[in-house]
Amino acid sequence: MTPSVITPTDSRYPARLRLTNIVDPLPDLVFNGNWELMNLPKTALFCSTRCPGSAILRTYDQAAQWRDDNRCIISGFHSPVEKECLRILMRGSSPIILCPARALPKRPPPDWKTAISEGRLLILSGFPEKAKRMTMELGARRNSLVATLADEVFFAHITPGGQSERLQKLLENA
């Protein structure tokens, strides 16, 4: 799969990114998959790495509901709870936008390739090819990108003092 690139000067570049100062500077967007998913209403999913059991079960139920409602979910799908939500979503036919906190993966898993060929998965990165490993900084920038692109944001759990709490405060002040 050859990735495509949309620069901030491209007419297809998301207006939401241009209209906020949350994501600065504006990144080139590198992607594989169905770019048209960007036109759908999107819910961003965030969950702290450490999460109590009650929040985990509630979030899995929510992911199943989104899947059944065919809701487009955008996330990094990085924390353990987010990863399981991705598995739940992949079992349906709902649209998914997956945003790694690094460059696009060179070899996506087979189920991702299938979902891309079905037109229901977009893998989107705001990072250059040289960003091969996730860092805390890249994770924070990715989360800002995801939150800005979404129509609504769902925090499954926020650990006090963690990245999710910082993002929530950033969004409140935007």
In the block, tokens 């409602």 appear at: 69
Whole-structure pTM value: 0.93
| 88 SS3 class | helix
In sequence order, what are the beta bridge partners of 154?
A: 45
Using H for helix, E for strand and C for coil, what is the string for 128-149? CCCCCCCCHHHHHHHHHHHHHH
pLDDT one-digit tens code per residue, 85-144: 999 999 999 999 999 999 999 889 999 999 999 999 999 999 988 888 888 899 989 999
- Name the band, by pLDDT with cuts 50, 70 and 90, for residue 174: low
Round to whole Å and give the CA distance between 29 and 31. 6
Please tell me the predicted confidence (pLDDT) of residue 19.
86
Render pLDDT for 2-38 as a digit per residue (tens, 0 to 9). Answer: 899 999 999 999 999 988 877 888 899 999 999 999 9
